[in-house]
């Protein structure tokens, strides 16, 4: 592998901690639940996009770009962390956000403003076109934009989660634990593609289960081919001969609820349960949905008392403030 040779821009301290959720595990009388804390990566309130951005910004700097351009929803963690990371790297940042400009920005959108990002609002259906347009307009005025896809999920960003799996391997050895499953929120795919590829590389023996936030196995854009494509292009980038097929991915699509960024009881209950047992927060859009799914799977005895589960906390806690009324 040629991981060490890929351009990388330092954004946070790794490894992120892992700890046992004693009170929370006991509350459900199920498996031992450990948590990997990618919610506390040190940049801009933390989250999984930090690992991807180290490699994406590494590439942008290598190409001597001066402006990052990306897109997402109004409460996008990816956009907030891109805005923060841009500043650390001395770059400007333009964000294309689908949604209406609120009177008072809060949650991630407030942080985007504090990081000095230039925000362009648009409709969801116009988002891809608007993203290209913003980049073209920047070129027209002499800037050098680097466009990062939604969620930072391509073969460059996903390398961050292959590296994360190597990091986990060392930690698990030191802690003498062998999870039967890693459970996490999946949406644009870079995290799952990187972790699943990393699991193959490290011969990880457990399952790597993505709880889908908004993706489906069928429909216009089935997710498994997307995951396979990201993983295999990532393998090529790092000089690995591994090629994955759709069957290599574990994807649970049972917790889509009312849709993306539409949290309900399962998410709000998971937030309160974890907060009140462990003093740890989840975000309503991603991590609360994944944790709600994990709790449901424990209650259905899909996971059993003799097992060990690692919940990979991917962040998103600033979203909480945008759901103050519901909480
Ligand atoms: C983006 C995000 C995810 C999903 O990661 P993908 O790589 O896009 O699948 C999960 N949790 C949080 C908090 C996120 O912001």
Q: Is the pLDDT assigned to residue 1 strictly greater than 90?
A: no
Residue 25 annotated to the active site: no
User: Could you tell which of 40, 47, 281, 282 is best to mutate to test the pocket of ligand 1, judged by most ligand atoms within 8 Å of the CB?
Assistant: 47
Q: What is the mean pLDDT of residues 2-14?
A: 95
Say yes or no: CB of residue 212 within 6 Å of ligand 1.
no
pLDDT in tens, 52-85: 999 999 999 999 999 999 999 999 999 999 999 9
Please give the pLDDT value at position 189. 98
% of the chain surpassing 70 pLDDT: 100
Q: What is the distance between the alpha carbons of residues 177 and 173, in angstroms, rounded to a whole number?
A: 7
Can you name the residues that pair with 207 across neighbouring β-strands? 181
pLDDT in tens, 114-144: 999 999 999 999 999 999 999 999 999 999 9
The residue written with tokens 């917790």 in the block is 255
pLDDT in tens, 238-254: 999 999 999 999 999 99
Say yes or no: CB of residue 76 within 6 Å of ligand 1.
no
Set out the domains of the chain in order of their start, with CATH numbers. Answer: 3-47+154-323 (3.40.50.1100), 62-147 (3.40.50.1100)
User: Could you tell which of 111, 151, 192 is best to mutate to test the pocket of ligand 1, judged by most ligand atoms within 8 Å of the CB?
Assistant: 151
Q: What is the distance between the alpha carbons of residues 175 and 178, in angstroms, rounded to a whole number?
A: 9
- pTM across the whole model: 0.98
Ligand 1 geometric centre to CA of 227 (Å): 13
Is residue 261 very low, low, confident or very high in pLDDT (cuts 50, 70, 90)? very high
Q: Is the pLDDT assigned to residue 159 strictly greater than 70?
A: yes
Ligand 1 geometric centre to CA of 142 (Å): 33
Q: What is the mean pLDDT of residues 96-113?
A: 96
Report the range of poorest mean pLDDT among 156-160, 177-181, 200-204, 322-326. Answer: 322-326
Can you name the residues that pair with 186 across neighbouring β-strands? 212
Q: What is the mean pLDDT of residues 204-214?
A: 98
% of the chain surpassing 90 pLDDT: 98
Say yes or no: CB of residue 315 within 6 Å of ligand 1.
yes
**List 25, 76, 187, 188, catalytic entry:** 76
* Longest CA span, the chain: 61
Ligand 1 atom closest to residue 184's alpha carbon, by position in its atom list: 10
Ligand 1 geometric centre to CA of 314 (Å): 6
* Mean pLDDT over each residue of the chain, to the nearest integer: 97
């Amino acid at each position: 592998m040629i991981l060490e040779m890929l351009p990388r821009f330092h954004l946070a301290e790794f490894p992120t901690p892992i700890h046992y959720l004693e009170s929370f595990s006991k509350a459900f009388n199920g498996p031992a639940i450990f948590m990997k804390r990618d919610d506390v990566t040190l940049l801009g309130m933390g989250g999984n996009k930090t690992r991807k951005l180290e490699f994406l910004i590494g590439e942008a700097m290598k190409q001597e770009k001066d402006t990052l351009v990306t897109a997402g929803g109004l409460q996008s963690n990816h956009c907030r962390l891109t805005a923060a990371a841009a500043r650390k790297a001395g770059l400007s940042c333009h964000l294309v956000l689908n949604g209406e400009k609120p009177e008072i920005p809060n949650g991630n959108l407030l942080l985007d403003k504090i990081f000095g990002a230039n925000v362009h609002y648009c409709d969801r259906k116009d988002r891809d076109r608007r993203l290209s347009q913003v980049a073209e307009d920047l070129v027209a005025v002499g800037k050098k934009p680097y466009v990062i896809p939604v969620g930072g999920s391509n073969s460059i960003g996903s390398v961050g989660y292959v590296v994360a799996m190597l990091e986990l391997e060392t930690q698990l050895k030191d802690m003498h634990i062998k999870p039967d499953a890693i459970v996490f929120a999946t949406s644009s795919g870079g995290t799952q593609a990187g972790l699943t590829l990393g699991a193959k590389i490290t011969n990880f023996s457990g399952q790597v289960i993505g709880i889908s936030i908004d993706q489906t196995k069928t429909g216009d854009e089935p997710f498994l081919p997307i995951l396979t494509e990201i993983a295999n292009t990532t393998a090529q980038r790092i000089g690995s001969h591994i090629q994955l097929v759709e069957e290599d991915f574990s994807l649970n699509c049972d917790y889509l609820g009312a849709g993306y960024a539409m949290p309900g009881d399962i998410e709000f209950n998971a937030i309160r349960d974890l907060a009140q047992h462990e003093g740890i927060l989840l975000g309503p859009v991603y991590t609360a949905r994944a944790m709600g799914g994990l709790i449901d799977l424990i209650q259905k005895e899909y996971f059993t008392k003799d097992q060990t589960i690692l919940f990979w906390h991917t962040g998103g806690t600033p979203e909480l403030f945008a759901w103050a009324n519901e909480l």
